[in-house]
Amino acid sequence: MIGILTFHHVYNYGAVMQTYALQEYLKEKGGRVAVLDIRPFTRYPTEIAHRGRISRKALHILNQAGLLKAGEKQRLFDSFRKEHLHLTRRIYNLNRYLNSASDLTSIVVGSDQVWAPRFGKKAMETYLLMSVPDSINKVAYAACSYGVGRGSAEFERYEDGLSRFSGISVRDGFTRDKVAGVSDTAVEVVVDPSLLNELSFGISKSDLGVPEDYILYYGFSENGDRVSRSLSEEYGLPVVSIAMEDNHRESSAEVNLSSVGPKEWISAIQQARFVVTKSFHGTMFSLRSGVPVLVVPGDEKAVPRLEDACNRFGLKGALIYPADCERDPVSRLKGVDWASVRQLMERHVRDSKYFLDKYVLQREG
């Protein structure tokens, strides 16, 4: 059996959906798959965490006492995980679980920012499988280290763990450079799991409560507000917005979808005319759905991973930097060769599927 170890537990649309996408690809290829329910760090739902600016320590105390009430968005996330992810029982000690789960033969770590030091030492050691025995096949798929950061120094203490991976792949060039500096194993760049397959949940526009034709605005920023307004004025289309977990306000869009789950989120992307987003996964799922997208980083810290993705998929013209207000967003959208973007994406997807087939599926027999 193949175990997937990633950010399934957070209340972030992209993190949950890329876990599901990877699970579904491995299943389609004949793999028996389980999502390992390990949570080496805690991230509270935004609708709770930012209500009254409660401190993390207070949140932890309230959570332990069972006094945090789930909001609608949280309930939809939990329902999706229960219905669509093949979750194991809650795992508090990975080695103890592996001793009892004798049919687990491989662990795939990733995608997403699983190798980001900002989540703490415990998370890094967990997602680098530092204590997992060598009898388990260890593979990293589309891992990310978050940002440019300190280079290979971030991984020096984990060199021994990295050497025990049979295959290492990351989703961007800056993570590849960091890991390659301390690893003897070749490091490949692959696509995020969100591009591996078509996902559809049959949710109509009327079910979503959105207009027949609209621009989707996912993840708010000052520049994003400007870009979505410009497109709306040019095409005469209403804007439908969905907040990211770090957004603490509603946008000025005509329709705000404030409490939607992962299925509704991806359905809203798939049925939009255009997407404006500061999100990596918002960009990826737009590409997979064939929806033209303008990528608007919320701040300079977010630029490297979005810039890397846009350059790789021929979307450089669709990337609007935080300080860049010179060119009209409409001309940027029209200046992208979307047919070429699609062809480039499909080529990268084929190479990425080959990586998974080689390092995971073939070893499962």
DSSP H or E stretch at residue 243: none
pLDDT for position 64: 54
pLDDT at 52 over 50: no
- Say whether pLDDT at 281 is over 90: yes
Range from 60-74, 127-141, 268-282, 346-360 carrying the lowest mean pLDDT: 60-74
Distance CA 216, CA 286 (A): 10
Looking at the DSSP assignment, which residues form a beta bridge with residue 140? 109, 168
Q: Does residue 59 surpass a pLDDT of 70?
A: no
- Above 80 in pLDDT, residue 51? no
Work out the mean pLDDT of the chain and round it to a whole number: 89
For the domain spanning 205-341, the CATH number is 3.40.50.2000
Give the DSSP H/E element, type plus range, for residue 164.
Answer: none
pLDDT in tens, 204-263: 999 999 999 999 999 998 889 999 999 999 999 999 999 987 776 778 899 999 889 999
2-197+347-364 to CATH, choices 2.50.20, 3.40.50, 3.30.160, 1.10.1740: 3.40.50
**Partners of residue 37 on adjacent β-strands:** 90
Q: Is 88 helix (H, G, I), strand (E, B) or coil?
A: strand
Identify the pLDDT of residue 78. 93
Distance CA 321, CA 206 (A): 34
Where helices occur in the chain by DSSP H, the ranges are 13-28, 46-49, 56-64, 72-84, 94-100, 121-127, 159-162, 173-180, 205-208, 222-235, 262-270, 280-289, 303-312, 329-335, 338-356
Closest CA to 355 of 134, 171, 198, 179: 171
Average pLDDT, stretch 279-307?
A: 93
- pLDDT number for residue 342: 96
Mean pLDDT of 288-295: 96
Alpha carbons 245 and 213: distance in angstroms, whole number: 25
pLDDT at 41 over 90: no
pLDDT in tens, 6-24: 999 998 999 999 999 999 9
**Residue 311 is which amino acid?**
N
**In the chain, ranges of CATH 3.40.50.2000 domains:** 205-341
